Amino acid sequence: MARIYPFRAWRYSPSGVRLEDVVTQPYDKISPAMQQAYYQRSPYNLVRIILGLPELFDAERGESVYSRAASDFRAWREQGVLVQEKDPCIFAYAQRFQVPGTQIVKTRRGFIALGRLHDYAEQVVFRHEQTLSKPKSDRLNLLKATHAHFGQIFMLYSDPAGSVEKILYEDPGPAEAEVTDEYGVLHRLWRIGDPAVIRLLSTAMADKKLIIADGHHRYETALNYSREFAPAAPAPSEHNPSALPQPPYPEAAVMMTFVNMDSDGLVILPTHRVVHSLPAFDPAAFARAAEEFFTVDALPGGDAGDYIAKLKQETHPAFVAVTRAGALLLRSKPEPIAAALAGLPERQRNLDLSHLHSIVLDRLLSLDAEKVREQTNLRYLRDAAEAVEQVRRGEADVTFLTNPVTMEQLREVAFAGDVMPQKSTDFFPKLLSGLTIYALD
């Protein structure tokens, strides 16, 4: 099923830069303030490639963030800022972190390798949520300009016995590279170049099916791009048991981090919805309309932490709506919701976010699928406090605070071939970009 490959990664040279100065969070988790901070850390910070500042380029002279990214990537390789591994390898990758809002410390273990790109119809790689149009266009432009992948797709596989982790972490020794990010997460990397270990790992992964945890947009972009380079006929294969596996052509694979979905190190956070710029939003009228599908209870004045604590007590679909008039706890009414969502698969009818998107956003606020896809009136935020404050500052009409999707829900929906609404999951912590780079040429 899943095909993995070692690769000659490009990596930052430790003799030229400090790793903490050049790696970044994934592009879609970089706020404007983080973008500015990354620019100031180092002239070689990866943000200059994956999320350049448009105002720094002269459009009239044909410059763009994409052409500059390609230029910088080429120059950094020529200057030795980035150096390439001599031999194909994979990387064990561990992250030690404190679960947000708790005192619990966990370690998530996985590995970085190339993974074969598969169309969803092949049922090897499964998605779990819808994608947005703008990010895919942006990532395609960057891929075409640089011919490289700078971050990993976060992939989940099932391995209750933990056999893959045992191969990787039985005796890892000191980490080859480590860095602590802005969220206090310790990232550690071990290079694995032993051909016997790589072949053993490839065999262990051969029967796995994969779920995309993070990186749907980049995966679909890479898949579409790979089709442009697919040979008219497959090259004849010569069986060589001693040879390391390799993709049929460079574009047929993308850099991935593989993590066992059965491990204790997986944490999913909620992503809250902030609705703004509606032509005429009346909090009282919204509350009345919501009563057709939900029990609506006013919550006493408080902060985002109070609302989240209340929401966590709910065992059935529910969410909190925060408007300028106050906060409301919306609990789904089973019969009206079932009738309204009769066209959805049963697994999705049980999801809080399906109720929020299909009933509240679509029916009550007239934000249809296209508006949601284009993010016309919608923002997604991890930080509940900031989501609430945007309403109170008058920057949004209503914020919806949600509980996180569970791993069991994600697994059921994905393997059934269904998808959740956009931005349904927020796996924490994120995979750092810039630890390894896969150049297609």
User: Cβ distance 320 to 310 under 8 Å?
Assistant: yes
Per-residue model confidence as pLDDT tens digits over 309-341? 999 999 999 999 999 999 999 999 999 999 999
Q: Is position 417 within any domain?
A: no
Q: Is position 230 within any domain?
A: yes
DSSP 420: B
Same domain? 353 vs 379: yes
Strand residue runs (E) in 300-431: 318-323, 326-332, 378-381, 398-401, 426-428
Same domain? 51 vs 168: yes
Same domain? 277 vs 262: no
**Residue that is written with structure tokens 């410390």 in the block:** 105
Same domain? 293 vs 384: yes
Q: Quote the pLDDT of residue 60.
A: 67
Q: The domain that contains 365 carries what CATH number?
A: 3.30.1760
Average pLDDT over residues 90-95: 98
User: Cβ distance 198 to 164 under 8 Å?
Assistant: no
Q: Quote the pLDDT of residue 152.
A: 97
Does the pLDDT of residue 99 top 90, yes or no? yes
Please tell me the pTM assigned to this model: 0.89
Q: Is position 286 within any domain?
A: yes
In the three-class reduction of DSSP (H, G, I as helix; E, B as strand; rest coil), residue 343 is classed as coil
Average pLDDT over residues 279-299: 96
Average pLDDT over residues 266-287: 95
Which are the contacts of 370, defined by CB distance < 8 A and separation ≥ 6?
Answer: 376
Same domain? 198 vs 219: yes
Same domain? 100 vs 238: yes
Per-residue model confidence as pLDDT tens digits over 149-191? 999 999 999 999 999 999 999 888 899 999 999 999 999 999 9
Per-residue model confidence as pLDDT tens digits over 423-441? 888 999 999 999 999 999 9
Query: Would you list the DSSP string of 266-307?
Result: -EEE--EEEE---SS--HHHHHHHHTTTEEEEEEPS--HHHH
Q: Quote the pLDDT of residue 171.
A: 81
Same domain? 337 vs 366: yes
Q: Quote the pLDDT of residue 61.
A: 74
In whole angstroms, what is the distance from residue 330 CA to residue 312 CA?
13
**In the chain, how many domains are there?**
2
- For residue 347, name the pLDDT band (cuts at 50, 70, 90): confident
Per-residue model confidence as pLDDT tens digits over 394-428? 999 999 999 999 999 999 999 988 888 888 889 99
Which are the contacts of 4, defined by CB distance < 8 A and separation ≥ 6?
Answer: 90, 113, 114, 115, 116, 201, 202, 205, 245, 256, 258
- For residue 372, name the pLDDT band (cuts at 50, 70, 90): confident
In whole angstroms, what is the distance from residue 249 CA to residue 256 CA?
16
**Residue that is written with structure tokens 């995309």 in the block:** 212
**Residue that is written with structure tokens 């990387």 in the block:** 91
Same domain? 280 vs 172: no
Q: What's the sign of the alpha-carbon dihedral 205, 108, 379, 437? A: negative
Same domain? 131 vs 177: yes
Does the pLDDT of residue 141 top 90, yes or no? yes
Q: Quote the pLDDT of residue 237.
A: 56
In whole angstroms, what is the distance from residue 45 CA to residue 179 CA?
14
- For residue 22, name the pLDDT band (cuts at 50, 70, 90): very high
Per-residue model confidence as pLDDT tens digits over 204-253? 999 999 999 999 989 999 999 999 998 876 655 545 556 789 999 999 99
Average pLDDT over residues 282-299: 97
Average pLDDT over residues 295-303: 93
User: Cβ distance 338 to 353 under 8 Å?
Assistant: no
Same domain? 283 vs 327: yes
Same domain? 117 vs 201: yes
Q: Which structural domain, as residue segments, surrounds residue 279?
A: 271-403
Q: Is position 422 within any domain?
A: no
Per-residue model confidence as pLDDT tens digits over 350-359? 899 999 999 9
Per-residue model confidence as pLDDT tens digits over 183-208? 999 999 999 999 999 999 999 999 99
| Amino acid identity, position 213 | A
Per-residue model confidence as pLDDT tens digits over 25-78? 999 889 899 999 999 999 999 999 999 988 777 766 778 899 999 999 999 999
Q: Quote the pLDDT of residue 346.
A: 82
- For residue 4, name the pLDDT band (cuts at 50, 70, 90): very high
Same domain? 258 vs 280: no
Share of the chain above pLDDT 90, in %: 80
In whole angstroms, what is the distance from residue 219 CA to residue 255 CA?
10
